[in-house]
Amino acid sequence: MSSGGVLSLVGIGPGDGAHATPAALEAIREAQVVVGYRTYVKLVRHLIEGKEVVQTGMTEEIGRARSAVERAKAGANVALISSGDAGVYGMAGLVFEVLRDMGWKRGDDPTLRLIPGITAANSCASRVGAPLVHDSCTISLSDLLTPWPVIAKRIDAAASADFVISLYNPASGRRTRQIVEAHSIIRRYREGTTPVALVKGAYREAEKVVMTDLDHFLDYEIGMLTTVIVGNSNTFLFEGYMVTPRGYTRKYTLEGDVLPGQMPGRSLVLQNQKEEL
């Protein structure tokens, strides 16, 4: 027998109302129980008056996921909120692990709803220009659950393949070494003048944006609320904006003419091997 419980995994975006989707806000409004980190619950406090709120600290994720699942299974409409997107370094993965552990099947209670949100990479990118127009990846520098050698290997692979890199969880009060090591790995492959943006608390009250470069970004404050965006070999600065080109000018002039040897709609023709990267 279905008891009608619902568990919504809700991404609320970077932290202000305007950048949470209507679907996310509706899921929170409909919920009887709202579960999340204190900071995120605070960000949506205007929507949760009269609801039961389960606020927890940073290190209680498993308990929080389990209690959200159990409350929903027992028939409540529960919204589990994450900043950004719940499926990007958020609670969604852990919820699925808890459900698998319980033997949950599709069609069982609770009904699951996944509601996407604007992740930090996107919100931070919008604060600095258009840094993610070409291939990019996100890497979390938190080694609380992932061994550092695995993280270092991924940074190395991303840097060597010329991905734009958004570094999440770059540092905390106790974790300060990782960002320094990340810098030295990336510097093996990229010029010291490569644009780097530090965006702290995008769309929140204490937002701070710093435009700098690979050789200087460690001189600035980097913490738990910062996302570090490292450009690729083509990223440039223009009027204070950080821009990664898609590559149009390899094929066309900006007047729209096709360059010699190129064909619209066909693979780019390399003029010489040096152009590969």
β-partners of residue 129 are: 242
Q: Does 36 bind ligand SAH (CB under 6 A)?
A: no
Contact present, 39 and 20 (Cβ < 8 Å): no
Distance CA 195, CA 215 (A): 9
Residue selected from 88, 151, 197, 198 as contacting ligand SAH according to rule CB under 6 A: 88
Q: Which of 77, 119, 232, 235 contacts ligand SAH by CB under 6 A? A: 119
**Piece in contact with ligand SAH (CB under 6 A), picked from 23-31, 190-198, 202-210, 214-222:** 202-210
**Does 227 help bind ligand SAH (rule: CB under 6 A)?**
yes
Q: Which of 120, 152, 158, 243 binds ligand SAH (CB under 6 A)?
A: 120
Q: Which stretch binds ligand SAH (CB under 6 A): 49-57, 210-218, 219-227, 254-262?
A: 219-227
83 forms part of the interface with ligand SAH (CB under 6 A): yes
Contact 136, 57 (CB under 8 A): no
Judge contact between 266 and 255, C-beta under 8 A: no
Q: Which residue is nearest to ligand SAH (CB)?
A: 84
Q: Give the shortest CB-45-to-ligand SAH separation in angstroms.
A: 17
Helices (H), 103-144: 120-128
169 binds ligand SAH (CB under 6 A): yes
- Report the residue number, 90 or 110, with the smaller CB distance to ligand SAH: 90
Of all helices (H) and strands (E), which one includes residue 238? strand 236-238
Longest dimension (CA), the chain: 69
Contact 104, 59 (CB under 8 A): no
User: Which one among 77, 82, 178, 194 touches ligand SAH, defined by CB under 6 A?
Assistant: 82
What is the arrangement of strands in the sheet containing 136-140, beginning at the earlier edge strand?
Answer: 136-140, 164-168, 226-230, 195-200, 208-213
| 4/17 with CB nearer ligand SAH | 17
* Token representation of residue 196: 């780097």
* Residue ranges that bind ligand SAH, judged by CB under 6 A: 14-15, 82-85, 88-90, 119-120, 123-124, 168-169, 199-204, 224-227
